[in-house]
């Protein structure tokens, strides 16, 4: 959703509160795409600091479906975080490409709420997502989810430096 910021330019110190809905259904993260399952409207307070500078404060509550880092089962992750940003609209007037990259959530005099949430979301994602603390993961040989079933794969870890010696032993066993 886009919020038109021009109505805040009239008076320095003018403040307005918005509660836009998050329209994105899929979060395109750095490692995978995650489904947004539950999102509350974003509570934003935007204040004019003067000289085309705005301060944005907000609260975001949403849930993502993220694959478990060990077994790849989908896990619901509830996130709640705050947004505190200062927007300098003088920078976007210059048209400098570097300035536009620093504030990708500002398009002209409009604030893209979904892009702002995405920028903050990447900072608030958990480092590791597990379906449970005792998740067994998947078998590195056959890909079986070890939480649901067992496999008959050889679980010995082999040192790649010993591969040549193991080949010699295999030749003598065949004789």
What is the value of pTM for the model shown?
Answer: 0.73
Locate the domains of the chain by residue range: 2-124, 137-175
What are residue 108's phi and psi, to 5 degrees? 65, -120
pLDDT, tens digit, 9 for 90 and up, residues 117-151: 988 998 899 999 999 999 999 988 888 999 999 88
Asked if 118 contacts 27 with a C-beta cutoff of 8 angstroms, the reply is yes
pLDDT, tens digit, 9 for 90 and up, residues 143-157: 899 999 988 887 666
Residues 6 or more apart in contact with residue 115 via CB below 8 angstroms: 104, 105
């Amino acid at each position: 959703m886009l919020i038109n910021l021009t109505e805040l330019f009239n008076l320095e110190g003018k403040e307005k509160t918005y509660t836009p809905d998050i329209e994105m259904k899929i979060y395109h993260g750095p490692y995978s795409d995650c489904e947004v399952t539950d999102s509350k409207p974003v509570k934003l307070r935007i204040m004019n600091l003067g000289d085309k500078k705005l301060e944005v404060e907000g609260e975001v509550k949403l849930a993502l479906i993220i694959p478990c880092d060990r077994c790849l089962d989908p896990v619901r992750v509830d996130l709640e975080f705050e947004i505190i940003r200062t927007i300098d609209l003088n920078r976007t007037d210059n048209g400098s490409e570097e300035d536009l990259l620093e504030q990708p959530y500002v398009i002209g005099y409009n604030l893209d709420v979904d892009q702002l949430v995405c920028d903050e979301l990447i900072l608030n994602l958990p480092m590791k997502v597990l379906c449970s603390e005792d998740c067994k993961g998947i078998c590195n040989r056959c890909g079986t989810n070890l939480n649901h079933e067992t496999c008959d794969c050889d679980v010995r870890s082999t040192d790649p430096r010993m591969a040549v010696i193991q080949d010699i032993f295999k030749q003598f066993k065949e004789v």
